[in-house]
Amino acid sequence: MEREYPIQNSGRLTVQYNYTVEIISFATLVGLFLLIITVIHKNCTLRERRKKNLLSYIGDRFVIVNRKGAIYCNTSLLGEKPSIMRSSNFTNWMDIMHPHDILVLCNSACKIFREGNTDKIEIRLNVDGNIKYLECILRPFVIKNGEVSEIIMEYKDITERIVNEQKMKKTIKHFKEIKFALDESILIEVLDSRANIIYANNQFCNLSGYPLDELIGKNIRLFNSKYHSKEFFEDMWKTVSIGEVWRGDIRNQSKKGSYFWVNTTIVPFLNDNNKPHQYIVIRTDITKNKEYEEKLELWSNVDGLTTLFNRRYFEKQLSEYWEQHYLQKQPLALILFDVDYFKSYNDHNGHIMGDQCLVLISDAVKQVLSSYEAVAARYGGEEFVIILPGKRADDAFEIAETLRMKVIDLQIPHAKSIENQYVTMSSGVASIIPKEEKNIDNLKKRADIALYQAKNNGRNCTVMWNSEGLVLYE
């Protein structure tokens, strides 16, 4: 094919074109179509692979949502395989969510759509009657034209952690309640290895009278009331020093000097060498119980009418004093006395007046003996006995005479007395230094013989048994 082109001042230029036209066969078109399909498939496969890689990186627990609802939701938590879920399905999924948490989730999503930030929340799901706790991290996933169009929410099951935390909170609350109960009911101290106080609760501070800052660093000897023996405490510390628990009752002294009884348990805490490095001292205030026990014991040992000790208590105390004075080689004295012509007094004045007479005489005994170590008891009827530890016969005699004159000074009228117009008394006194060849009966027998002699000598007198035998004093 030729074509002419005019050229200025030169005439015309003739150009010859040669074209080759090839006809494409049907087979070639099919091949070309298959090639296009293959490229498209590869692109789709690449997108799927990228999506799978993304999901594999995220894990198998996620939800992707857009501004209209969920477009993909992993339902493995519900026992299903990951699947595409439309808005209606997502609504059903949210039906198992706690109502309060739905609001939390919606507010978080709205904030991310609006501001583009990352947020973390916790939600609760009710799956087949079981509460599941999820920790969710929400972040922008797709941003178009500067706006967040999709959000991906990763979640993980934290049910086990939450349940354990709840159990721990309950345990802590339980221990706090126990501590409160213990603080309200018992006394607690913590001691170091040298028995110095490093902690004391309010109950102990209140009972002892010491504020905590005055107790810290002080040794528990601070409360020693001198009631217990040295051997008592040696046994206590010997027990705990080998890692064993000690229990017992201790009388302590408060800051103000008053005494309080505590039932005490000392628990040693051992170090790696099995040596005590701390002691927990748990006490219970038993002061009122002890006072009640002492009163019960006292009243069981006291004569109901005169409030002097009774015969049973006298026999017990005399036996203890005898053993003590035998070891110490010290004298032990007895005064045995009774009211002269008391049967006549009773018959004439009546039993009520007779009881009043015995009470007045008992009060006189208490007054005379108030400055002595002594045990006075109603021995029976109108007969009384007094133990005088460490007193010789002469000393006991002077006390007996003082008491006899005190009774006369009471001037209790006795119309039937042959001896005196007032009530009088007769006394027998004896004293012995306990030895192996002598016993308690020797002392009581001598006092009784002396009293008998006083009655035979006209009453209203004192007879003393000394080393020389019976001596009469009027």
Assign a CATH topology to domain 301-473: Alpha-Beta Plaits (3.30.70)
Report the first-to-last Cα separation within the chain, whole angstroms. 184
Is it true that 59-162 and 301-473 share their CATH fold?
no
Specify whether the CB–CB gap between 411 and 450 falls below 8 A.
Answer: no
DSSP states of 417-466: -SS-SB--EEEEEEEE---TT--HHHHHHHHHHHHHHHHHTTSSSEEEEE
* 251-261 average pLDDT score: 95
Global model pTM greater than 0.85: no
Distance CA 466, CA 460 (A): 20
Q: Mention every residue, 6+ apart, whose C-beta is less than 8 A from residue 192.
A: 198, 277, 278, 279
Rounded CA separation 403/416 (Å): 22
For residues 330-353, average pLDDT: 93
pLDDT of residue 397: 95
Nearest partner of 443 among 452, 433, 456, 453, judged by Cα: 433
Quick one: which of 333, 335, 220 has its CA closest to 280? 220
**Tokens 């000074």, residue located:** 409
Q: Which CATH architecture has domain 59-162?
A: 2-Layer Sandwich (3.30)
**Eight-state DSSP code of residue 226:** S
For the stretch 121-149, pLDDT in tens is 998 988 888 898 989 998 888 777 778 88
Q: Which residue do the tokens 């006072």 mark?
A: 291
Top pLDDT among 299 and 119 is at: 119
CATH class name, domain 186-291: alpha beta
Residues 6+ positions from 429 with CB-CB distance below 8 Å:
333, 334, 335, 336, 393, 396, 397, 400, 447, 450, 462, 463, 464, 465
Q: What's residue 21's pLDDT?
A: 44
| 86 band by pLDDT with thresholds 50, 70 and 90 | very low
Give the chain's count of helices (H) and strands (E): 13, 18
Sole residue written with tokens 């309640």: 177
- The domains of the chain are located at 59-162, 186-291, 301-473
Q: Look-up: residue for tokens 């230029």?
A: 13
Q: Cβ(76)–Cβ(120) under 8 Å?
A: no
Number of Cβ within a 10 Å radius of residue 81: 8
Confidence of residue 15 (pLDDT cuts 50, 70, 90): very low
Nearest in space to 152 (alpha carbons), one of 143, 139, 162, 165: 139
Please state, in angstroms and rounded to a whole number, the distance separating the CA atoms of residues 188 and 261.
14
CA distance 295 to 287: 12
pLDDT for 47 beyond 50: no
